[in-house]
Structure 1
Amino acid sequence: MSAYREIATLLAANTGAKRMGDVFDHFVEMAAIALRNAVDIRGSTSWEARERQYLQIAGRYGGEELNRFAHALALLTMELQRGPRDVLGLLYMELGLGNDRLGQFYTPYDVAHLMARMEIRTVIEQVERCGFADVYEPACGAGSFMIALSEVMLEHGFNPQTQLHVAAEDIAPQAMYMAYIHLTLLHIPAVVRRCNVLTLETFETWPTLAHVLGHWGQKRRMVRAANGSRRLIIASHQETTGIPADALEMKP
């Protein structure tokens, strides 16, 4: 049985009187919080707030159901250890959840992979010039483009864990959680924000463990100060966001 099917089976077993969409949301939210709180200072105000949020969700499930969630996260982790892939985005679509949510769909991975291949030359040029590619993606969804980009980088002999930094944003909490889980488990340095990319209002900021341990905030500031490099813009998203390229480049 594939990892996708096993995870879907585990989530389905937790539905009971709940809708599959709610169970999926609870799974990704709890998984993201568990990973995020491993980065934050234990006992801090933000850590405590997320811990209460986690326990509130967990309180809706019994011990056996929580074990299924833990098993599903373990399967997800092992699947991503095999290589970059958009596990949660594909799972979301295969479960038919997009049809229940006013047409909220995530980019198919083969499309994301094609987009990544179209951008790889620009990425390689920035790596060769600065030591790493600094990539920003508005309206990131589950992070399929960034996942595909990391896969294409590997195909070209580059290491996305040390030669890629990601800033990803989406206004939907569910999308933020999914992207954060993917990027964290792939050990990609990243900052994921829940943000309105039109008004530039930011509600939450979630750095991955690789970002924190790699001191990427300082590293990026040093590179920018040294050569004035600007964040790579993913041109394929400019039409969907309607934001001028200059505005995207100036984002912190």
Structure 2
Amino acid sequence: MSSYGEIVKLLAANTGAKRMSEVFDNFVEMAALALRNAVDVRESTVWEAREAQYLQIAGRYDRAELDRFAETLALVTMEMQREPCDVLGRLYMELELGNERLGQYYTPYDVAQLMAEIQIDSVVEQVQRDGFANVYEPSCGAGAFIIALSQAMLEHGLNLQTQLHVTAEDIAPQAMYMIYVQLTLLHIPAVVRRRNVLTLETFETWPTPAHVLGGWGRKLRVVRAINGSRRLIIAPPQETTEIPADALEVQR
């Protein structure tokens, strides 16, 4: 049974004098901050800054509202397990936040699935050739394409933890938080960046737990040392191309 209706009710109960867009943003930001700090060095400068950021947002809500956020994250997690897809992107659109924000829309998941079907053969070939697929997506949004591609890989009998690594970039903080939460819940090794893909200015770099626990920082450094700049699958456009070498710089 789908949890979307219950998730919408929980978020709506937290609005009060707030706009739904603010409540949704606060929810995904706090979820992302909590998951990110779980795999960072505790009490480091950046860890403490994120913790302060989390507490500053939490201070806008009472205990009951914070409990509803925790229940919301639990339902999102269950929904991702029940039917892996772009859950947060779908919620964003069902809450009509795209209209509220003057044309910011997320790719419908069925379109992402079609794109993944077009790409899957080249991904399988890269796994057979290199041992894993190294996927790069600029302007990643909430991650619909990456999620659809990961599910297509599973259908082909591939292991997401050992045969897929993702580098995802978007300039919007909200998009970074959304894709980070979803890739974390799906246990996909990834480095998520808030980055201007035109100027190549990077503001934040967040490795997922699967990236850290899987030792992917070391793996990618070895690959880069052996082969130099890697060929990565990019969408959009839907073709294999070279990316700047610094896009492979990762933490840990």
Judge same fold: TM > 0.5, yes or no: yes
Q: TM-score, normalised by structure 2?
A: 0.93
Alignment of 1:112-123 (within 5 A): 112-123=112-123
Asked if the contact 2:229/2:245 (under 8 Å) is kept, the reply is: no
Shift of 1:129: 1.1
Number of aligned positions between the proteins: 248
Distance (Å, rounded) in 1 between the aligned partners of 2:96 and 2:183? 24
Matched residue of 1:194: which SS? strand
1:111 aligns with 111
Give the corresponding residue for 1:184.
184
Q: Do the aligned partners of 2:231 and 2:241 also contact (CA within 8 Å) in 1?
A: no
Give the AA of the match of 1:60: R
SS of residue in 2 equivalent to 1:166: strand
Report if aligned partners of 2:229, 2:242 keep a CA contact under 8 Å in 1: no
| % identical aligned pairs | 74
Q: Secondary structure at the match of 2:247?
A: coil
Q: Counterparts of 1:18 and 1:231 in 2: how far apart (Å)?
A: 45
Aligned CA distance change for structure 1 residues 229 and 200 (closer, same or farther; 3 Å): closer
Please, which runs of 5 or more residues in structure 2 have no aligned partner?
none
**Residue 97 of structure 1 corresponds to which residue in structure 2?**
97
Give 1:162 deviation, angstroms: 1.8
Q: How does 1:1-252 map to 2 (within 5 A)?
A: 2-227=2-227, 230-237=230-237, 245-247=241-243, 251-252=247-248
Query: In structure 2, how many angstroms separate the alpha carbons of the residues matched to 1:238 and 1:204?
Result: 26
What stretches of structure 1 of length at least 5 have no aligned partner?
none
Deviations 1:192-220 (A, max 9, x none): 00000000000000000000011101112
Residues 39-72 of structure 1: per-residue CA shift (max 9 Å, x gap): 1111000010011110010000000000000000
How far off is 1:95 after superposition? 0.5
In structure 2, what is the Cα distance between the partners aligned to 1:232 and 1:50? 31
Larger mean CA deviation between 218-227 and 1-10 belongs to 218-227
Question: Structure 2 vs 1, CA of residues 250 and 199 (structure 1 numbering), >3 Å: closer, same or farther?
Answer: same
> Cα offset for 1:231?
3.4
User: Are the counterparts in 2 of residues 191 and 205 from structure 1 also a CA contact under 8 Å?
Assistant: yes
Give 1:166's aligned amino acid. V
The letter for the 2-side match of 1:202 is T
Do the aligned partners of 1:33 and 1:54 also contact (CA within 8 Å) in 2?
Answer: yes
- Matched to 1:142, the amino acid is A
Amino acid at match of 2:185: L
Residues 59 and 119 of structure 1: is their aligned pair in 2 closer, same or farther, counting only changes over 3 Å? Answer: same
Cα distance, 1:82 vs. partner? 2.7
Looking at structure 2, the residues matched to 157 and 223 of structure 1 have their Cα atoms a distance apart, in angstroms, of 24
Name the CA shift for 1:130/1:228 in 2 (closer, same or farther; >3 Å): farther
Amino acid at match of 2:247: K
Q: Conserved in 1, the CA contact under 8 Å of 2:191 and 2:208?
A: yes
In 2, Cα distance between the equivalents of 1:246 and 1:164? 18
TM-fit CA distance, 1:235: 4.7
Secondary structure of the residue that 1:237 maps to in structure 2?
Answer: coil
Q: Give the alignment's Cα RMSD to 1 decimal.
A: 1.8
1:104-126 CA-partner distances (Å, limit 9, x unpaired):
00000000010011000110011
Question: 8 Å contact 2:135–2:233 — kept in the other structure?
Answer: yes
* SS of residue in 1 equivalent to 2:135: strand
